[in-house]
Structure 1
């Protein structure tokens, strides 16, 4: 399995199936307690250890088909010399509906699994079963820092500090100096999917994306990627169940900290998401033949603030600048060939009904794309998502065989309005749950702190205010300070998107009005302000 010939066969298979494979999966049968040994400490604590060895494996990932640990049990996973330690993992990391879990690659051909068990725990309450192990051969150069030199050369060895086979034609994200693209970089992540049908792990790129319904109290961490990145193991159709995404790994900050060949990449990982929406997908057809190519997921846990990740803004306007003549650029961050985060930027774009096309290296474009770029976002000159990397073609001279010179981004606006009659078939139902009619959204962090709700009209945004906010009674004062007389309608929505109140004020320029929401329970509400031509949204809190 560790031979270049076997790996090249898998790479060629991926090209034929429009997938970027990064690991080969083999079945395992590791279970608690029979697969390990117990160690009893003087303080009453019990340590259980098991080990998996795969000869020749440069790195091993784990897939658990039953992970149910009671309170007082922590799981750790580490390599042979214990220089790479992952965990502690607890049941809080797992959805109770299926108890599936996945663990990122561990360096080397040995992986140790350890349970730390407190004295009060009943051992019969512990359920742990590992049914698959993944032998990773792509995107693992960063693990070289954990390897003991006595282990010999391994596939991920990186003597020139390139950190990935795609590096020779790529530009590291850390080397892109434009500060206005920092949000786009922090919103761009990598996804790894388990394909049990072919016993392989595939990967794509993706973007964290903001919703107009987000509040600090209800902050949905959505992930946007391409629909063709994932399909059912047997039918090849796109999955729409939560369990299909229970073992997806999401890599954050998989990049170098500085533009320096000696600077080793870091990575932060979250496992598992729920299905939200996707375009129709049939893996038996080419991605170019699909009517759409978007997939929206929601992480099951909020991204820790320590990851410093962002939820990107978006734009559904079709008035894309061509060519860009403002000194700004279209930019995309992605993970080609499973590598650490790369960047490409573009001064010229081509538009069609469904796609935005980028040509490399001409038309002022810098960088290139490989398999694995799929699903990444294209950000406009205002740093908002306008496209999702979908299909590629052609070849770049003097680059590896899977380097493409033309990339089609599926238009974000097309996915936004894909099938408005079915919530699971469009983005609008989730990214504008209050039906504000907004055409753009701003970015925020993954905690939704300092959230800036988009406004389509600066006059409404500044000229209509609510106080007290929060209100301990539900009775709000509405203060109008508009530049000219307008007919304003105020619509109140709860966090589920249901309309729960309304106030119409005609011919208003300045003045104070009462908005009675005393019949509503405590919580966060969105107020849509409209004057017939423009819209603004405000968040208010009732705390009785």
Structure 2
């Protein structure tokens, strides 16, 4: 979905969180301590970026796109720019031990800037900072840990039209840095201008989404505290512009925390190249309470870079030239495993073609903090979710019956930037991804309109072209389950606690201190067994049993505590044993 009103908060937000993300480590640029005494710093060369953009036309284009089809929210235009630390900028010695390189980039009138790198590599012990003219926003320090292998990279948005790159040379390595900028994202938008004029000194505001949006930590979100931890938004460079969409981390049957990201295919629609490797993903951008606040959340974290695994367009053509209609789903894999300290949740999913009578959508409307919208039966609407076929116009008509048509409870809605967000059923499982609905500039006025979500079951294995099926990634062990609970990597068991019933009379594991094998005895027929190590990794899975007893060989397993999950004919049972 797209909205012509620009997300004013995003520019300020993404330039204020760097100390809390993995791609940077915080700190203060050394030049800040010397700026009044070191003459050479103030004389840094300035690159004046040629800005040949018709902002009014860009806004008009956004409005036309909004009125003609569902599309991601465009936030910036790309301007080619060549900056190489080897051939440009000023080197300065601030002291015997501190040597810095600086380069100022100026793009007149920009509301914010995004840097894209052809190569980004920082040697051990070196640092890079990026900051705006009044030093109110600082990104960094970026270090060798930021992007250890080098290559393409991108930064978050930083507010303002003049920024400085400051590289601090290493004192422990003679290795040369590789910093090669290939273009700059020029953030535009009249709505942002109005916010700037409303304050002095100018300070971009948050809370850019429309007034009916409900924060995820309001009472509506009380039963969705796990699911919200898997919801993200991201910025992607596509076809000469930067756009944003929503998405969710998703679990797989290995339950191993593989960083899969589920979103919508139309978020990557472009007349040109889509750069998946420079996607910037934002986690935990939300207010801690129900009320909107005047300061930005400080717990947000980011990661950069994804690989495209599966793309299921609304309409497209296969590699063999065959026309296809799909359910508008995309599966990405982050290039970096998500650190445990990020405390994310990998949401579960349900492939069954069963309409849920209630649930929620968790999303980032207009790039704002995380919001929630509810659907449930209400007066005059017994079935809020029904099977539908999405007709978005020529070239944007989805597969027959491949969508959920959803009416919300009338209190809230989604809007531009919410595209790709997941809809959860009453069991807390993902059943679809947002394609769109009514096309308008005031989503709160039309919050009783129907919206459409590509069915997750269609994403999973419905397409005849297997390259357009997510099953091989999300069920890599061919478990065959029609639904999967979410996974919390910080849960030492890593198993589906909410559906487990424990009873020593119903399940007996012996010996509990095992050497070569473990015997499993249940009081009814066993259907499947899964075993997890103390880190929550699945180490054993088998189905097809037709008896109430079995034996598992553990002779080659590592020492430690293991959790065993047994599915019988009627319930799931769990127990533990130790491999000595």
Q: TM-score range by the shorter chain?
A: 0.7 to 0.9
Q: Give the whole-Å Cα distance in 1 for the aligned partners of 2:417 and 2:437.
A: 11
Per-residue CA deviations over 1:420-478 (Å, capped at 9, x if unaligned) read: 873x432222222222232332223355644124898858999556677897x6x2312
Q: TM-score, normalised by structure 1?
A: 0.77
1:443 paired to 2:486: yes
- Aligned ranges for residues 87-236 of structure 1 at < 5 Å? 87-94=140-147, 96=149, 99-122=151-174, 125-137=176-188, 149-150=200-201, 153=202, 157-158=204-205, 163-164=207-208, 166-195=209-238, 197=239, 199-215=240-256, 219-231=257-269, 234=272
- Aligned ranges for residues 384-399 of structure 1 at < 5 Å? 384-393=429-438, 395=440
- Aligned ranges for residues 399-438 of structure 1 at < 5 Å? 405-419=449-463, 422=466, 424-438=467-481
The count of corresponding residues between Structure 1 and Structure 2 is 497
User: Are the structure 2 counterparts of residues 368 and 134 from structure 1 closer, same or farther at C-alpha, using a change threshold of 3 Å?
Assistant: same
- Aligned ranges for residues 36-55 of structure 1 at < 5 Å? 36-55=89-108
Per-residue CA deviations over 1:199-250 (Å, capped at 9, x if unaligned) read: 21111110112222123xxx21221101121146537xxx7xxxx4111011
Counterpart of 1:367 in structure 2 is 412
Contact 2:509 2:577 (C-alpha < 8 Å) held by counterparts: no
Q: Give the whole-Å Cα distance in 2 for the aligned partners of 1:470 and 1:70.
A: 49
Deviation of residue 14 (structure 1)? 3.9
Contact 1:453 1:537 (C-alpha < 8 Å) held by counterparts: no
Does the residue aligned with 1:393 lie in a helix, a strand or coil?
coil
Per-residue CA deviations over 1:249-281 (Å, capped at 9, x if unaligned) read: 112222333333443233432211222323256
Q: Give the whole-Å Cα distance in 2 for the aligned partners of 1:444 and 1:297.
A: 18
User: Are the structure 2 counterparts of residues 444 and 483 from structure 1 closer, same or farther at C-alpha, using a change threshold of 3 Å?
Assistant: same
Does the residue aligned with 2:278 lie in a helix, a strand or coil?
coil
Contact 1:204 1:372 (C-alpha < 8 Å) held by counterparts: yes
User: Are the structure 2 counterparts of residues 488 and 246 from structure 1 closer, same or farther at C-alpha, using a change threshold of 3 Å?
Assistant: closer
User: Are the structure 2 counterparts of residues 281 and 381 from structure 1 closer, same or farther at C-alpha, using a change threshold of 3 Å?
Assistant: closer
User: Are the structure 2 counterparts of residues 365 and 502 from structure 1 closer, same or farther at C-alpha, using a change threshold of 3 Å?
Assistant: closer
Counterpart of 1:9 in structure 2 is 60
Contact 2:89 2:101 (C-alpha < 8 Å) held by counterparts: yes
- Aligned ranges for residues 432-511 of structure 1 at < 5 Å? 432-445=475-488, 447=490, 449-453=492-496, 463=506, 475-480=516-521, 482-484=522-524, 486=525, 507-508=547-548
Deviation of residue 370 (structure 1)? 2.0
Q: Give the whole-Å Cα distance in 2 for the aligned partners of 1:340 and 1:40.
A: 42
Does the residue aligned with 2:114 lie in a helix, a strand or coil?
strand
Q: Give the whole-Å Cα distance in 1 for the aligned partners of 2:412 and 2:333.
A: 30
Q: Give the whole-Å Cα distance in 2 for the aligned partners of 1:429 and 1:527.
A: 25
Contact 1:23 1:201 (C-alpha < 8 Å) held by counterparts: yes
Identify which of 60, 63, 70 aligns with 2:123.
Answer: 70
Counterpart of 1:34 in structure 2 is 87
Q: Give the whole-Å Cα distance in 2 for the aligned partners of 1:460 and 1:491.
A: 17
Counterpart of 1:337 in structure 2 is 366
User: Are the structure 2 counterparts of residues 121 and 180 from structure 1 closer, same or farther at C-alpha, using a change threshold of 3 Å?
Assistant: same
Contact 1:386 1:413 (C-alpha < 8 Å) held by counterparts: yes
Per-residue CA deviations over 1:475-509 (Å, capped at 9, x if unaligned) read: 231231x233x3666689999x9999979976536
Q: Give the whole-Å Cα distance in 1 for the aligned partners of 2:577 and 2:191.
A: 46
User: Are the structure 2 counterparts of residues 507 and 305 from structure 1 closer, same or farther at C-alpha, using a change threshold of 3 Å?
Assistant: closer
1:350 paired to 2:403: no
Identify which of 312, 337, 344 aligns with 1:302.
Answer: 337
User: Are the structure 2 counterparts of residues 105 and 499 from structure 1 closer, same or farther at C-alpha, using a change threshold of 3 Å?
Assistant: closer
Contact 1:344 1:367 (C-alpha < 8 Å) held by counterparts: yes
User: Are the structure 2 counterparts of residues 442 and 408 from structure 1 closer, same or farther at C-alpha, using a change threshold of 3 Å?
Assistant: same
Contact 2:411 2:447 (C-alpha < 8 Å) held by counterparts: no
User: Are the structure 2 counterparts of residues 448 and 7 from structure 1 closer, same or farther at C-alpha, using a change threshold of 3 Å?
Assistant: farther
Identify which of 257, 270, 290 aligns with 1:259.
Answer: 290
Q: Give the whole-Å Cα distance in 2 for the aligned partners of 1:210 and 1:309.
A: 11
Q: Give the whole-Å Cα distance in 2 for the aligned partners of 1:294 and 1:385.
A: 13
Structure 1 residue ranges without an equivalent (≥5): 323-328
Structure 2 residue ranges without an equivalent (≥5): 1-50, 319-323, 378-383, 388-400
- Aligned ranges for residues 323-334 of structure 1 at < 5 Å? 329-334=358-363
Q: Give the whole-Å Cα distance in 1 for the aligned partners of 2:152 and 2:526.
A: 54
Q: Give the whole-Å Cα distance in 2 for the aligned partners of 1:109 and 1:366.
A: 38
Does the residue aligned with 1:430 lie in a helix, a strand or coil?
helix
Contact 2:529 2:566 (C-alpha < 8 Å) held by counterparts: yes
Counterpart of 1:325 in structure 2 is none
1:85 paired to 2:129: no
CA RMSD, aligned part only?
A: 4.3
Q: Give the whole-Å Cα distance in 2 for the aligned partners of 1:274 and 1:539.
A: 38
- Aligned ranges for residues 315-326 of structure 1 at < 5 Å? 315-322=350-357
Contact 1:176 1:343 (C-alpha < 8 Å) held by counterparts: no
Does the residue aligned with 2:427 lie in a helix, a strand or coil?
coil
User: Are the structure 2 counterparts of residues 525 and 306 from structure 1 closer, same or farther at C-alpha, using a change threshold of 3 Å?
Assistant: closer
Deviation of residue 371 (structure 1)? 2.5
Q: TM-score, normalised by structure 2?
A: 0.73
User: Are the structure 2 counterparts of residues 487 and 339 from structure 1 closer, same or farther at C-alpha, using a change threshold of 3 Å?
Assistant: closer
User: Are the structure 2 counterparts of residues 427 and 398 from structure 1 closer, same or farther at C-alpha, using a change threshold of 3 Å?
Assistant: closer
Q: Give the whole-Å Cα distance in 2 for the aligned partners of 1:462 and 1:115.
A: 65
Counterpart of 1:313 in structure 2 is 348
Contact 2:563 2:575 (C-alpha < 8 Å) held by counterparts: yes
Identify which of 3, 25, 28 aligns with 2:78.
Answer: 25
Deviation of residue 83 (structure 1)? 2.7
Q: Which has the higher strand share?
A: 1
Contact 1:434 1:493 (C-alpha < 8 Å) held by counterparts: no
